[in-house]
């Protein structure tokens, strides 16, 4: 039996962990949320010059070789109006370039370089789409975080964070991670199959506290990857990731997965930069979170619907 995370929680609630553990072969975990440390390495067959700078839709690229470039989703367009109007709308950036490429849109590509070492520099400008890429690898590095941060705002004015706009006077509590990413990192050695934005990916460990998801960008699906503009903060890529955890009746592994519900979040007043409390993730499942005598409306950048859909795909249920 292969269960999704939500199905596992329901089964444990109904029948208890010990009675169902021997029947479970694997558990599928899925997440869909904004991520920071993402990059696309893309290569062309030939450009006809040695580049020293490049940009796509006026978003700068990092030059890695004669035909290879790196794009990071958080890189902003050079002419984005946010540079002069606080707090900034962050209308366009690398994350939106990635989304446009996935949608096979033609994009303006400009490269500055030298045809040979003896000639003046030249500019190559052309319209390109994802179909002209020789290859594309998308990867994201994730670090183990014991206590993810949720924000409240005790001031009289709106505040901006990587979790989105936090309403004033303690009107909301904002978080952006389901915590399941941390469970995947914890159980990386038990991962059997990796899901990355609609295609099969690779999970590799970079030490005890860091893992890297990698996948073929040319086969990814925009349903599971989209640009996100966070007012007052910047541009990020919302990305769907998942992992099938091999269990084979191991109660200890199942217990580790379920303990995600009790993973503590730091609740920080973003205005005072002060930690107010620590609460378990399971409280975020409700529309309101109660801390001491205060009630906060939950504001989330995580799609629990798409996360469960990813898990169902991994579990072979759709």
Burial class (CB in 10 A: 0-12, 13-18, 19+), 69: buried
Give a yes or no: residue 175 inside a domain: no
Closest CA to 81 of 72, 92, 73, 71: 92
Q: What does the pLDDT read at residue 120? A: 66
Please indicate, yes or no, if residue 45 is contained in any of the structural domains. yes
Q: Is 8 domain-assigned?
A: no
Query: DSSP states of 53-66 as a string?
Result: EEEETTEEEEE-SS
Residue 112 included in any domain: yes
- Total domain count, the chain: 1
Beta partners for 210? 143
Is the omega angle on the peptide bond into residue 98 within 30 degrees of 0, that is, cis?
Answer: no
pLDDT of residue 116: 64
Structural domain including 57 reads 38-137
d(CA 192, CA 180): 16
Three-state SS for 52? Answer: strand
- Domain assignment present for residue 59? The answer is yes
Is the torsion defined by CA of 228, 31, 203, 164 positive or negative? positive
Sequence-distant (6+) residues with CB within 8 A of 275 are 266, 267, 268, 269
Alpha-carbon gap, residue 313 to 95, rounded angstroms: 24
State residue 49 phi and psi, 5-degree precision.
Answer: -160, 165
Alpha-carbon distance of 59 to 49, in angstroms, equals 20
Asked if the structure places residue 312 within a domain, the reply is: no
pLDDT score for 311? 95
pLDDT of amino acid 293: 79
- pLDDT averaged per 10 residues, the chain (length 318): 94 91 94 92 87 94 93 89 69 94 95 73 87 95 87 93 91 87 90 95 89 96 92 91 94 93 93 93 86 86 91 92
Q: Is residue 303 part of a domain?
A: no
What are the backbone angles phi and psi of residue 192, rounded to the nearest 5°?
-105, -45
| Residue 117 placed within a domain | yes
Considering Cα of 290, then 296, then 301, then 303, what sign does the dihedral take? Answer: positive
């Amino acid at each position: 039996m292969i269960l999704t995370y939500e199905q596992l929680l329901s089964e444990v609630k109904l029948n208890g962990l010990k009675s169902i553990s021997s029947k479970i072969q694997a558990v599928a975990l899925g997440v869909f949320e904004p991520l920071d440390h993402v990059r696309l390495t893309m290569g062309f067959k030939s450009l006809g010059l040695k580049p020293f700078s490049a940009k796509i839709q006026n978003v700068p690229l990092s030059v890695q070789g004669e035909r290879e470039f790196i794009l990071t989703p958080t890189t902003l367009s050079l002419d984005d109006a946010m540079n002069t109007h606080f707090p900034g709308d962050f209308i366009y950036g690398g994350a939106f370039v990635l989304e446009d490429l996935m949608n096979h849109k033609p994009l303006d590509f400009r490269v500055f370089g030298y045809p040979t070492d003896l000639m003046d520099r030249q500019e190559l400008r052309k319209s390109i789409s994802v179909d002209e890429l020789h290859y594309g690898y998308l990867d994201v590095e994730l670090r183990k975080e014991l206590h993810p941060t949720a924000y409240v705002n005790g001031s009289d004015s709106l505040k901006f964070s990587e979790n989105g706009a936090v309403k004033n006077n303690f009107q909301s509590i904002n978080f952006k991670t389901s915590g399941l990413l941390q469970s995947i990192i914890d159980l990386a050695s038990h991962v059997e199959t990796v899901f990355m934005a609609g295609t099969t990916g690779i999970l590799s460990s970079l030490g005890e506290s860091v893992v890297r998801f990698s996948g073929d960008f040319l086969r990814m699906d925009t349903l599971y990857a989209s640009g996100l503009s966070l007012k007052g903060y910047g541009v990020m890529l919302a990305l769907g990731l998942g992992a099938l955890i091999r269990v084979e009746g191991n109660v200890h592994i199942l217990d580790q997965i379920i303990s995600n519900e009790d993973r503590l979040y730091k609740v920080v007043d973003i205005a005072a930069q002060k930690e107010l409390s620590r609460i378990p993730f399971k409280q975020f499942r409700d529309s309101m979170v109660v801390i001491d005598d205060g009630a906060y409306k939950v504001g989330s950048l995580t799609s629990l619907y798409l996360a469960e859909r990813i898990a169902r795909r991994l579990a072979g249920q759709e």
